[in-house]
Amino acid sequence: MIELTIIIAALVFIFTAVLTSRPMYTFSMENYSKRVTTQYGFRVADLHYSYDQMIYFISLPTTLPYIKEAVKEELIIEQDYSSFLYPELKGIKITLEHDGEKLYLAYLPIGNFRLPHLDKLQQEGKIDEAAYLKISTTKLLHPDTLQEVRDEVFKQLQVGRY
């Protein structure tokens, strides 16, 4: 009976840890970012960013009819984490489901998600690479930013890069 209790307790602990790890990761990134941005007098929401490092897996603009005819709401944004237990955001994937298969359209690695204001602070020695990464992660995980990324990918699919 004691063994069963220990096994159930361990399973509940692991299950709880897995379910709360990503929300806690996001919470800690937001909390850290709020402290740093308050210290330097800006808000994460006000930061501008660049799409230049977005990696596209198809040619732009595309001539594939099922992509050309897709509506913006059909583009799915997935967050790419390194693991379940100790998650770390690696980037975001933009996919489109076609005939039951996921078609990867674009990927934005977190290391390539550049924010000019943070570049300036890093150049001045006010923040280090770890702080830059935490603040850029907070910006990338924000729902408004994710919507803007979806809009940009959709525009690139329809119009092209240049």
Please give the backbone phi and psi of residue 130, each rounded to the nearest 5 degrees, phi first: -65, -45
Residue 46 clears pLDDT 60, i.e. is over it: yes
What pLDDT band is residue 18 in, cutting at 50, 70 and 90? Answer: confident
Are 37 and 135 in contact by the 8 Å Cβ rule? The answer is yes
Average of per-residue pLDDT values in the chain? 88
Mean pLDDT over 37-60 rounds to 87
Mean pLDDT over 21-43 rounds to 91
| pLDDT tens, residue by residue, 92-145 | 999 988 777 888 999 999 988 999 999 999 999 999 999 999 999 999 999 999
Q: What is the Cα–Cα distance from 77 to 142, expressed in whole angstroms?
A: 12
Mean pLDDT over 52-69 rounds to 82
Residue 78 clears pLDDT 90, i.e. is over it: yes
Q: What is the Cα–Cα distance from 140 to 50, expressed in whole angstroms?
A: 11
Q: What is the Cα–Cα distance from 110 to 120, expressed in whole angstroms?
A: 18
* DSSP reduced 3-state for 26: helix
> How much is the pLDDT for 52?
79
Residue 160 clears pLDDT 70, i.e. is over it: no
Q: What is the Cα–Cα distance from 30 to 44, expressed in whole angstroms?
A: 9
pTM of structure: 0.82
- Residues with Cβ within 8 Å of residue 46, at least 6 apart in sequence: none
What pLDDT band is residue 32 in, cutting at 50, 70 and 90? Answer: very high
